[in-house]
Amino acid sequence: LQMVSDANTAGSGFLAVFSAAHPHERGDQYCGGRLDKPSGTFKTPNWPEKDYPAGVTCSWHIVAPKNQIIEVKFEKFDVERDNYCRYDHVSIFNGAEINDAKRIGKFCGDSPPAPVVSDGNQLLIQFLSDLSLTADGFIGHYKFRPKKNPTTTVPPTTTTSQPATSRPITLKYSVALCQQKCKRRGTLESNYCSSNFVITGTVITAVMRGGSMYATVSIINVYKEGSLAIQQAGKTMSTKIIILCKKCPFIRRGLNYIFMGQVDEEGRGKIAPHHFVMAFKTKNQKGLSVLKNKQC
C-alpha cells in the first residue's frame, strides 16, 4: 500500500484497517513474494492452464547477495496490448520499491521483452491486471550474476521499441539561465533525439514557486517516454513538468502544448529556455508519429 501526495491540492486523507484471513480461492490465484535463491521462476496466476484473472496485482522482490546483480528473461509473454501499456502491464524497477525514477521498463503485448539486468542486487517486478480484458500471461526466469560482468542490454519501456535514453541530468534554476534569450532552438526533428521525453498534453495546473513554474500536464500522447514519471488514474495519464524560468517558455492553463525536455531524478520533466515547447495543433500529430519511429 503506497500513498503519494504532490505539491498541489490536498484532501482530508483516509483511514484504513486490515486483517489477515485464509484465502477464499485456490492458491494459484495468488502470486508474488520474495525470491532469494540463485535462480528461479515467476509466473502469472493460472499459468499455463488458462488466462490470468482480472483485477490482480503481483509483486516479486528478487534479492541477490550484495556483490551480485540479477538477470531476468521472459520465456513466454502475453499481456493485454496497449501502445502505452496503460491497462494490464508488467513493470520492473531497480531496488526494492515502486519508484518511477527507478523503473527499467513497462511491458505489455505478446512479444517477450528483451532480457533485463539490474543495476544492483535488488529488483522489483510488478504485474497488474485491470478489471476488463485478460490474456495468457507469462512465465519468466531469473538468475544471479557476478557484478563485475553486467549485461549491457537495455529493454524498451513499452511494447513499441524505444532507444536507450540517457540518465536523469542535473538542470536547475539560476539567474544566469533565465537571462538567456527566450527563443526555442531548432525544429521538432532536430530536438527529438536530444530530448529525454517528448509528449503532447494539456496544462491542468501551473503554480509559480521561486523563479520557476510547476505544472501538471494531462497527457494527450507520448512519443518518447524516456525516464519521465507518468501517473495514471483510469484511462487518464498525467505528469509533472517544471518550467525552470517561469516566463520562458510561457505556458497557460487549459492550452495544449508539445513538450520536449530533460528529466530529473524524481522523474519530473524539466524545461529550460532553449528546449523545444510549442502550441500543439492537430496538424503536428502526423510529424510526431513519424518521429516516434525514428532511430536515434
> DSSP letters of 222-239?
EEE-TT---EEETTEEEE
- Burial (CB < 10 A; 0-12, 13-18, 19+), residue 295, is exposed
Domain parsing of the chain, residue ranges: 27-146, 175-292
Return the closest-CA partner of residue 203 out of 280, 286, 289, 288.
280
In sequence order, the β-bridge partners of residue 126 are: 59, 91
pLDDT the model gives residue 12 = 87
pLDDT the model gives residue 258 = 95
Question: Which CATH number is 27-146 given?
Answer: 2.60.120.290
Q: How far apart are CA 202 and CA 196, in angstroms?
A: 19
pLDDT the model gives residue 236 = 81
pLDDT the model gives residue 170 = 56
Q: How far apart are CA 72 and CA 105, in angstroms?
A: 12
Dihedral angle over CA of 181, 183, 187, 190, nearest 10:
20
The CATH number of 175-292 is which of 2.60.120.560, 2.40.50.120, 3.40.50.300, 3.90.700.10? 2.40.50.120
The grid coordinates of residue 155 equal: 529493454
pLDDT the model gives residue 162 = 39
pLDDT the model gives residue 239 = 92
Strand runs labelled E in the chain: 33-35, 39-43, 57-63, 68-78, 89-94, 103-107, 116-117, 122-128, 137-146, 197-209, 212-224, 231-233, 236-243, 256-263, 269-271, 277-279
The grid coordinates of residue 209 equal: 514557486
Signed CA dihedral, 132, 133, 135, 141: sign only: negative
The grid coordinates of residue 90 equal: 508488467
What are the 10-residue block averages of pLDDT along the chain, 296 residues in total?
79 87 54 94 94 94 95 95 88 91 89 90 95 94 82 45 42 76 83 91 92 92 89 81 90 94 89 90 89 81
